Amino acid sequence: MPKRVRIAVFPVAGLGTRFLPATKAMPKEMLPVVDRPLIQYAVDEAKEAGIEHFVFVTGRNKGVIEDHFDRQFELESNLKIKGKLEALQSLQADLPKPGQTSFTRQQEPLGLGHAVWCARDIVGNEPFALLLPDMLFKSERGVLAQMIDAYENTGNNIIAVEETDPEGISSYGVVGRGEGPDTGFEITEMVEKPKREDAPSNLIISGRYILQPEIFDLIEQQATGAGGEIQITDAMQTLMKSQNFTGVKYNGRAFDCGSKVGFLTANIVFALDRDDISKDFMKELQTFATESQKSS
C-alpha cells in the first residue's frame, strides 16, 4: 500500500499580468468565478480528495490569500447579528482547520519548478499533490480524487491529462501514452511544447499532479529551461528514469482561467449550474443574444 497523499501544494506567486489592471492590487488567484475565488475551488477539490495540509507558495502582495483562509471575527459577528446564518455557515465550512495551512515565499519568479521546490521543507519525505489554481475543473467527482484512485492502485507519480486539438498542441506539455485504461495508463514520455509533428499524442498535462518527494532534489539540480525558468516538466522527465508515471484522462471539463476567454467561459458555465441564479442569468444571456442579432 503506497504512503497516503496528505499534502497539497498550491503555487500562487505569479503576477497575473494577463489580467492587469485587475490584478495590480489583487492576486489573480482571488479573481471570482461567480462568487468564489479561484483558489477556493482548488482547495475544495483537494479537500474532497482527502488532503489534510494545504501549502501555499506565495509572493509579494499575496497576503490577501492568507487572510482569505483565516477567520474574520468582525464579519462573522456582523452576519450573526443580522441573522445571515447560512452565509456564516458557508464561510466557516470553507476554512481549513487550525494548523492545516502553511505559507512560504518564492522570492523570485523563477518558474513552476522553483515554486514547488520552495515547499520542500514543509512537504518533507512524503508524496504530495500539486494543483495549479489557474486550472478550474467542472466534474461530478473532483479531478484530484480521480487521480488518488490511480495512485492508490499503483503508487506511481500521477499526471492528469486531457485531449486537445493538435493545432494548438505546441502550447502545452504533452505525454506519450502506453498501456492501460483512461483511469490509469503508462506514461512513456513527456515533451514540453512540442511541434505538432513531434508530439507523441494529443494528450496534454492539465495542471494536476501527484509527485514523489524525490522530485525536490532533481529540481535543485535542474538547469534553467524555457524562458530562463526552472521547469517542473524537466525534473519530471529526469524522475521518469527511476520512477513510473501514470496518466489519468479525467472525467470533466477544464477551464484555463489564466486566459481571459477561459475565465469568462468558466463564469458563464458555473453560473448556469447554480439553482439560485441560473434562470435569471439565462434570461439575461438570451436578451443579450437577441439584441446582438438585431444590431448586427
Instruction: Indicate the SS3 state at residue 166.
Output: helix
Sign of CA dihedral 135, 204, 219, 210: positive
The confidence score (pLDDT) of residue 273 equals: 95
Question: What integer pLDDT is reported at residue 227 of this predicted model?
Answer: 67
Residue 109 has what pLDDT?
82
CA–CA distance, 140 with 42 (Å, rounded to integer): 15
- pTM value is 0.93
Residue 278: count other Cβ atoms within 10 Å of its Cβ: 13
pLDDT value for 65: 93
Predicted local confidence at residue 225, as pLDDT = 67
| CA–CA gap between residue 279 and residue 284 (Å, rounded) | 9
* Coil vs helix vs strand at 296: coil
Per-residue pLDDT at 292: 81
Return the residue matching grid coordinates 473532483: 142
d(CA 268, CA 282): 9
Taken in order of first residue, the domains within the chain and their CATH numbers are 7-258 (3.90.550.10)
- Mean pLDDT, contiguous 10-residue spans, the chain (296 residues): 94 89 91 96 97 94 90 90 90 90 91 95 97 96 97 97 88 92 94 87 95 96 76 92 96 95 97 95 93 78
